[in-house]
Amino acid sequence: MRKDNSDFSTAFVSEAGSYIDNRDYFAFMETDDMACYVLADGLDSDQELRSAEMVVKTVLENFMEKPSMSKRRLMRDLREAQEWLQFESRRVRLKASLLMVVTNYNKMVYVSCGNVRLYHFRNGRLNFRSKDHSLAQSLADDGRIPDEATSTHEERGNLLEYLGNPNGVHAHYAKKTQLADGDVILLATSGMWEDVELAEMLGALEEAKDPVMLTDTLEEVLLSKQHRTVNNYTAAAIYVNKVFQEKPKNRRKLIKRILIALLAFVIVGGGVWITLARMAANKAAALETMVESAQAADDYARAGDYAKALKSYSEAKNAAVKINDKIHKRLYTAEQKLSQLLVDGDGYVEKADFTKAEASYEKARKSAGLYPPFNVKDIEHKIDQLDSYAETASWMKDGDLKFQGGDYTNALKLYKKANKAAMESGYTSAQKELEKKITEANDKLTAIQQQLKEIQAGKLQAKGDRMMKDLDYEGAIDAYSGAQEIYQEIDKLESVLALERSIAKAEEKQSAEQQKNGQLPAGLGLSDGALNDTDAGDAASNASASVAATPAAESQTKATPTASAGTTPAKKEVSSAAKNSGTGDGNASSAKAGTSKEQGTADSASKAEGASDSENQDRAAANGS
Amino acid sequence: MQPYFVVSGAAVLFAVLLMIRIRLTRSSGSRTVSGIEIGNGQTIGSRSEQDDYFSSMTTTVGTLAVVADGISGLANGRMSSTLAVTTFTKAFAKLEDATNLNGYFAEAATQSNRSILQNLNGQGGGTTLAAVIVCGYQLHYGAVGDSLITIYRNGHFQTVNSKHTAETLLEERVLAGQMTSEEAKTSPVRNQLVNYLGYEGFESMELGSAPIRLYSGDHVLLCSDGIQEALTEIELEEIMRKGGTPQETADAMIDAINDKGFKSQDNATVLILAIG
């Protein structure tokens, strides 16, 4: 209850002067915690509306709704009054000067607009006066006229600010002033302060003991001047007999609050600072990335590596977006698009779609001149090469057709031709493909060659077999050898080995034949009984039996191939000995006696073979029977 | 870096141009009058004759602008307004210096009143008159009747003279307790002229106690009551706010009146002086 614990008394006088209408208006409101005093001076001549009354009521209504001393609130009230005046200005421009004083019975604030004045007296002297919004006041502020002259200067009515001004309202808000017991606040319109000088006001203040006396005295002073025309005048006096005493502030509590506020400020401020620092760091990093990426992209573009340039321009553009650098974003977007066109062109070349490639390159060529890293000549060179690429692709296609038709030789020729052209024109993507195709064609040709040789070898082998049948062992060996060579050439080792056996067999047969032919008399002597058993007419059948016995011999050879091989010289030796001993039987027996153990072994082996042969012979005969 | 240079260059250029503009604007508000541009407009309204008369004149002393509104209700309105304006201009042409312009106004008014009375020869007639002299950046004025002198400054009007109608007398009667303010407000003679040229009881015209300071960009308007009755202050403000030369503005005012097409439209005259 501030009002009850303070003593403020108010009185006012407001008259029309020598006019019918009083266009001044004063009203005040005292609530438990605050009081508001509003004085306005209507400046227009509208016959129906009273602008002063309108604005005072608007301001007081707002104050009643929510009493406040805040600047924001009071200025808002003033703006509402201004809007109301402008809304009602239909025929005449409604204007008013206004002064609003708000107090909490301890301190006061005021808002002024126009030339309604506030005088604050303390201890019988002027403490301060509000300033007018007039040209005279601005001249006084500039030091061109004395401050006292503002009440009489010709420009005192030339207002620079007032409510209802079509250019908007600009009021003055005075900060809180501490009130003291015995203070007197006087609110006066121009009708009062123009004709009552400050000295006269101070004189009236000295005499008056209450606001009623003061305002009455001021009116008397004004009227005593007996001007022919007396303007509307209003004077409102507020006597501050007792100021509301604020509770002494708890210093510890205050310090605590300050510390908490400080801490909150440090935390919030620190958070904000850290956030800002991070944002700045991120921005700096993004800027660095942008510059580096752009530099790299330019280098790639200069080097003609448009795929890498595209990637780098994209990174630079993203960095520009991060730092909200619209200019660079636009630049890198354009360069990225340009790179994309060139990459697309290269892609079309790889797919051999040269029409689309040319369209992409042409687009790129048109805009490349605007961006220095892009070499227009390089793009033109790409366009020029397209014909050569098309020709290469055509050859490759023809080669493919030949290849599909089995004409590997001609396909290979076309591939090689295309490959040469691709190398010359730098058509690297086609080059790789062509190399692959050349390899495939070569493989095909090699495979065919091998097959041919196999056939050739097969033929020789068959020939060898035929010759074996014809007992032409020499011819068979030659044929087999020929076939073996071919198989060796084509690395068919199994066939080589098989032929080796065939050759060995043929050689055996040949050897046996030769032996047979060369040792026939001695043989006959050694096996008379045998010969007795078989007549000479069966010689042919013996031969055939010998051939029929080949598998048995062969199996023996298989069983002891080394022995077989080892026996051959021994046999030959024996054979030669036999040949030598062919000169006489006695020699032969002595030779037998004189033969070494080794020879004996050879003999026994020979005998065993002979026995084996005889067994086979019997079997063949049995089979023959 | 190229785009930064371009943007910085543009910003610097903009700032330089802005400074030049501010300087030029300030210099235009210098203490010497670089020239006064004048525009005028007039319409006969729905009356049978044009009783308004106006004139402007520039001499070494300054620029004179006069608007007279012949009283149509009485005979010889046209003669009265023409005679009054002619008397003021002739007297101004003879003026050699600006030391006593209020004396000039008073003398010209007295002479006009005398001449009109002589010409009327007992018949009814008369005219209102509003006259201004712009001398340097000072506005001197004299007015009689209900024609208006107003200054348009910073988007709004400041009225210079007061109307010499019966309203003043009625106010005096109210103040004397002879009638109530309501009776005064509803009185049919409220707008009746109590002072005009050609009036036998004419004593003097209203004169400014001190010249009014003018500023560059100010517009001084002299309007006969035909303008004030047809266009509201707000409408006049709107027309003025559109800008243009004084002649274009005056034409716009007359067009606005004609567009309204009031059946009892009075003669209307406006004279605009734009202070350079």
Chain A residues in contact with B175 by the CB 8 A cut-off are 18, 20
Give the pLDDT of residue A625: 28
For residues A129, A130, A132 and A136, what is the CA-based torsion angle, rounded to 10 degrees? 30
Strand partners, B65: B56, B132
* Environment class of A297 (CB within 10 Å of its CB; exposed 0-12, middle 13-18, buried 19+): buried
B5, pLDDT greater than 80: no
Flag whether residue B107 sits within 8 Å of chain A, measured between CB atoms: no
Nearest-angstrom CA–CA distance, A113 and A111: 7
Q: Which residue of chain B comes nearest to A15, CA vs CA?
A: B175
> pLDDT-derived band of residue B123, with 50, 70 and 90 as boundaries?
confident
Per the prediction, chain B carries an average pLDDT of: 88
Give the pLDDT of residue A608: 36
Q: Are A427 and A421 in contact (CB under 8 A)?
A: yes
Rg (CA), chain A: 66
Amino acid residing at B33: V
Chain B residues in contact with A331 by the CB 8 A cut-off are 3
Flag whether residue B210 sits within 8 Å of chain A, measured between CB atoms: yes
Query: For B85-113, what is each residue's pLDDT tens digit?
Result: 999 999 999 999 989 999 999 999 999 99
Chains A–B, number of C-beta pairs less than 8 Å apart: 49
Write the Ramachandran bin of A486: left for phi over 0, alpha for psi from -120 to 50, otherwise beta: alpha
Strand partners, B58: B63
Q: Which residue of chain A comes nearest to B1, CA vs CA?
A: A328
Give the pLDDT of residue A82: 94
Give the pLDDT of residue A524: 41
* Environment class of A265 (CB within 10 Å of its CB; exposed 0-12, middle 13-18, buried 19+): exposed
Amino acid residing at A605: A
User: Is the Cβ pair A92, B159 closer than 8 Å?
Assistant: no
Mutate: best of B158, B227, B234, B241, partner A, most A CBs <10 A? B234
- Long-range CB pairs of A31-34 (<8 Å, 24+ gap) are A31/A3, A31/A64, A31/A67, A32/A1, A32/A2, A32/A3, A32/A4, A33/A1, A33/A2, A33/A3, A33/A67, A33/A104, A33/A105, A34/A2, A34/A63, A34/A67, A34/A68, A34/A69, A34/A102, A34/A103, A34/A104, A34/A105
User: Is the Cβ pair A92, B158 closer than 8 Å?
Assistant: no
Nearest-angstrom CA–CA distance, B252 and B153: 19
User: Is the Cβ pair A93, B157 closer than 8 Å?
Assistant: yes
Flag whether residue A166 sits within 8 Å of chain B, measured between CB atoms: yes
pTM, 2 dp: 0.55
User: Under DSSP, is residue A372 helix (H, G, I), strand (E, B) or coil?
Assistant: coil
- Low-confidence spans in chain A with pLDDT less than 50: 520-625
- Strand runs labelled E in A338-466: none
Q: Which residue of chain B comes nearest to A21, CA vs CA?
A: B181
Phi, psi of A177 (to 5 degrees): -115, 130
Flag whether residue A170 sits within 8 Å of chain B, measured between CB atoms: no
Kindly give, in sequence order, each residue whose CB lies less than 8 Å from that of residue B60, ignoring residues fewer than 6 positions away: B96
Query: For B155-191, what is each residue's pLDDT tens digit?
Result: 889 899 988 888 878 887 887 888 888 888 888 888 8
Q: What is the ipTM of this complex?
A: 0.74
User: Is the Cβ pair B175, A328 closer than 8 Å?
Assistant: no
Of A92, A160, A331, Cβ closest to residue B233: A92
Of A92, A160, A166, Cβ closest to residue B232: A92
Starting at the earlier edge strand, list the strands of the sheet with B156-159.
Answer: B36-43, B268-275, B219-223, B148-153, B156-159
Q: Which residue of chain B comes nearest to A89, CA vs CA?
A: B234
Mean pLDDT to the nearest integer, B61-75:
86
Q: Which residue of chain A comes nearest to B238, CA vs CA?
A: A166
Give the pLDDT of residue B73: 63
Strand partners, A128: A120
**Mind telling me how many Å the CA of A397 is from chain B's nearest CA?**
50
Give the pLDDT of residue A28: 97
CA angle B234, B236, B240 (to 5 degrees): 115
Tokens 């087999």 found at: A480
Flag whether residue B238 sits within 8 Å of chain A, measured between CB atoms: no
Give the pLDDT of residue B2: 65
Give the pLDDT of residue B14: 83
Query: For B27-45, what is each residue's pLDDT tens digit?
Result: 433 333 448 999 999 999 9
Phi, psi of A516 (to 5 degrees): -60, -45
> pLDDT-derived band of residue B74, with 50, 70 and 90 as boundaries?
low
Query: For B198-243, what is each residue's pLDDT tens digit?
Result: 988 888 899 988 899 899 999 999 999 999 999 999 999 999 999 9
Q: Which residue of chain A comes nearest to B177, CA vs CA?
A: A20
Give the pLDDT of residue B22: 62
